[in-house]
Amino acid sequence: MFRNRNATAPAELSAFYAAEYPRVVGALRLYTGNPSLAEDIAQDAFVKLCRDWEKVSRMSAPGAWVHRVAMNQAKSTFRRNKVAADKAPLLRPPRESMQAEGVAGAAATSETVRDALLQLPHDLRAVVVLRYYADFSVAETATALGLPEGTVKTRTRKALAELGDLGLTFDLEYVDV
């Protein structure tokens, strides 16, 4: 099953999977807005992890590696299916209608947070999801997305400003994904 002859590798991989899989799926649910797509992408990322476990297990941040693989797969899925351009606007209310319905200034519910996140561009959404839902540091987020730390900080500020325009204050750690 594993190319690694180290007898502890499967146990280490199992422990890593148990710890990281829920975090990856949760991050992908927020990023994609689609629970079943999130599960599919996470499974693909963990298949790649199993294939490359010998190399990945020696990395300083294997969790960031699997998140990066998952986020890259999600981006590829969005490009391939044109979800962002063609489908997503049909599935959520426009920003103006959310404000008109009194969402601005209210404490955000999980649904409100998900809707607001879906209004962010993918690059900003990815940073917010990893920083505040997955509880990654700036450095871990940068590693996961293959970005410089300064870019992560800039995108975080931009994303929070856009969310603030909706009057939302929330803690993604408690969002029901």
Identify whether 91 is part of a domain: yes
Identify whether 133 is part of a domain: yes
From CA 31, how far away is CA 33, in angstroms rounded?
6
Identify whether 4 is part of a domain: no
Containing 47, the helix (H) or strand (E) segment is helix 35-51
Share of the chain above pLDDT 70, in %: 73
Identify whether 3 is part of a domain: no
Task: Look at residue 175 and tell me whether its pLDDT is greater than 80.
Answer: no
The CATH number of residue 170's host domain is: 1.20.140.160
Q: What is the total count of domains within the chain?
A: 1
77-128 pLDDT, tens digit each: 888 776 445 544 544 444 444 444 444 444 456 777 788 888 899 999 999 9
Residue 54 token pair: 């010998």
Q: Residue 81's domain spans which residues?
A: 9-174
119-173 pLDDT, tens digit each: 899 999 999 999 988 889 999 999 999 999 999 999 999 998 888 887 766 555 4
Residue 32 token pair: 């994609």
